[in-house]
Amino acid sequence: MGLKEMLFGKKNPGNAESKGNAAGTGNSGCAGNAVNAGNSGAPGAGEFSYGVEDVFRLNDSPDRIVVGHVYGRINKGDAIYISNPGEDHAEVVLGIASDLLINTTNVATAENTTVSIRVENGSNCLLKTGTVIHSRGASVGDVHNAYINALGEGYISFKRMELKQEEYDRMSVTDIVELFRLYLGYCKENANDPSNKITARQKEISNTFANLICSKVLASKEIYVLMSKRTGEAAMMSHTYQAENGSYVTAPPDLLIVTRAYADVWKRNYDPSKYDFLEVVNGPDGNGIYNFLGNAFYVNGACGVRVIYENMSIGAQMFVPPPEYKDVPEIQIPVTNPDLERWLLLIGQLTPPADEKENNLLSILYSHLFRELGNAKFLVPMKFDSDPGEADSEGKITLKKDTRMSLATRPGKNGRSSVMMYTDWKKLRMYYKEEDGWSGMIQTIAEVIETFDCAINVTDHREAGVYIDKQTYETNILKK
């Protein structure tokens, strides 16, 4: 079985795993859009698509020779449309196929075969492995199929994954993720072949691609992050499964990010009443994506990033190293609870359980949450009725006589009051502003539960918080 048949199926190479086709936007046509390849088969009558597997320069000529496989029929002299489906900002360019060659023979037409195309003035457009040349009426699915085929054939079959740095440099994030996905599929199919030199390099290639994905994501103009409308934060992607010994294991939750090239289609995969995609831009300083991910990892508790596909996970520390507080006085270390926050957000984004299976899953997640609640240190909003004065070098304040301190409380359950508690400064500042005199006091649940119930992370998104009364504390947290 050839690479095409093995990775993609005989008639339907490539699949972007979406639920519908994406139309082109503006003047960009197919460029920058992912698609559900479906079972589209060959292009319609009079239409063609062609994935570029390699590009060659010509001496003293702006033309370029490209090599690939045409699906449908192309004629010498045809007007062609040149797309780069994996690029976030590429436009479709109109060109001319001035010559066709099969092997070394000039031909007037080529149909469903490997053919070299001379692209007139090809130096003026982006031609690379994965570029798609197609007719005006080619469907988005056919264009995407040709794109995926070209990556697999060009880089795996032809170049045997022996790539130069300049080839990596020309790839977009989408190109790299799609090629990595194809490569892993190839390795799985050939796992029992000890003589296969491509699969023998799997660890080396995987490390290279993971680092490439990280660097290119961080350098992107923008990314799109799956957000939970229930929590107002980035969605936590996780899975709980039963191990062989009967115990349940919850995979560390990740974020899901997609590129602009695929964003419109990926939106169709998620219920719009529950989820949305947030555009995160890098901005003028180039740190917007880095800062967003750092907050998601080390404040909200995400453990990694799933890039486009849910099985394409990369650990948090490869994107952003953890903050280093080795020589920082304890009083200056910001309060965060990522080990707790991840479970708050994961539980908060779930709708009420519909059956016993979902209820058991929720119980497992709550067991993780209760374990962390007992260890967490929270910020309780507080303010003084007069200026308390400056803190000393250790952050301590000596209060003046008769100075009164107010805590943020509200009526709770069963006649008790509840005190507001927050896992980090960002959430506290959503309501309790510094300009209004609010500061924060560090407390554990154990230190306040005799007097107050605990209302944790009360914001506009109530599902992102939790209410702990004394009975819940004694029954579920104290015993942990």
**CATH code, domain with 38:** 2.40.30.10
Closest C-alpha to 172, from 124, 205, 221:
221
Q: How confident is the model at residue 430 (pLDDT cuts 50, 70, 90)?
A: very high
Q: Check whether 465 has a pLDDT greater than 90.
A: yes
Q: Tokens 């702006």 identify what position?
A: 62
Q: Check whether 400 has a pLDDT greater than 80.
A: no
| Rounded average pLDDT over 164-183 | 96
Q: Answer yes or no: are the C-beta atoms of 19 and 36 closer than 8 Å.
A: yes
Q: Answer yes or no: are the C-beta atoms of 344 and 305 closer than 8 Å.
A: no
| Rounded average pLDDT over 462-480 | 91
275 with 411, same domain: the answer is: no
Q: How confident is the model at residue 42 (pLDDT cuts 50, 70, 90)?
A: low
| Rounded average pLDDT over 467-472 | 96
18 with 59, same domain: the answer is: yes
pLDDT value at residue 279: 98
234 with 340, same domain: the answer is: no
Q: Answer yes or no: are the C-beta atoms of 225 and 256 closer than 8 Å.
A: yes
pLDDT, tens digit, 9 for 90 and up, residues 117-140: 999 999 999 999 999 999 999 999
246 with 161, same domain: the answer is: no
| Rounded average pLDDT over 207-217 | 97
List Cα–Cα distances, 48 to 53, 81, 82, 365, 372, in angstroms: 16, 10, 12, 51, 58
Mean pLDDT of the residues in the chain: 87
247 with 371, same domain: the answer is: no
> Which runs of consecutive H residues, i.e. helices, occur in 93-201?
140-151, 165-170, 173-189
71 with 120, same domain: the answer is: yes
**H-helix or E-strand spanning residue 453:** strand 453-456
Distance CA 153, CA 172 (A): 17
Strand partners, 303: none
Q: Check whether 210 has a pLDDT greater than 70.
A: yes
Residue at a domain's end among 195, 214, 233: 214
pLDDT, tens digit, 9 for 90 and up, residues 444-456: 999 999 999 999 9
| Rounded average pLDDT over 320-330 | 87
Strand partners, 227: 234, 276
pLDDT, tens digit, 9 for 90 and up, residues 1-24: 333 333 333 333 333 333 233 223
Q: Answer yes or no: are the C-beta atoms of 5 and 252 closer than 8 Å.
A: no
pLDDT value at residue 247: 81
412 with 290, same domain: the answer is: no
Distance CA 454, CA 418 (A): 5
114 with 244, same domain: the answer is: no
The domain containing residue 175 runs over which residues? 3-214
Q: Side chain identity at 136, as an amino acid letter?
A: R
pLDDT value at residue 286: 94
163 with 210, same domain: the answer is: yes
Residue at a domain's end among 160, 182, 214: 214
pLDDT, tens digit, 9 for 90 and up, residues 241-300: 888 887 888 999 999 999 999 999 999 999 999 999 999 999 999 999 999 999 999 999
pLDDT value at residue 62: 96
73 with 148, same domain: the answer is: yes
225 with 265, same domain: the answer is: yes
pLDDT value at residue 29: 30
305 with 408, same domain: the answer is: no
Q: Side chain identity at 53, as an amino acid letter?
A: E
Residue at a domain's end among 157, 189, 214: 214
pLDDT, tens digit, 9 for 90 and up, residues 78-93: 999 999 999 999 899 9
Burial class (CB in 10 A: 0-12, 13-18, 19+), 13: buried
pLDDT, tens digit, 9 for 90 and up, residues 61-83: 999 999 999 999 999 999 999 99
What's the structural domain count of the chain? Answer: 3
Least confident span in 11-15, 224-228, 397-401: 11-15
Vertex 253 angle, CA 247 and 254, to 5°: 150
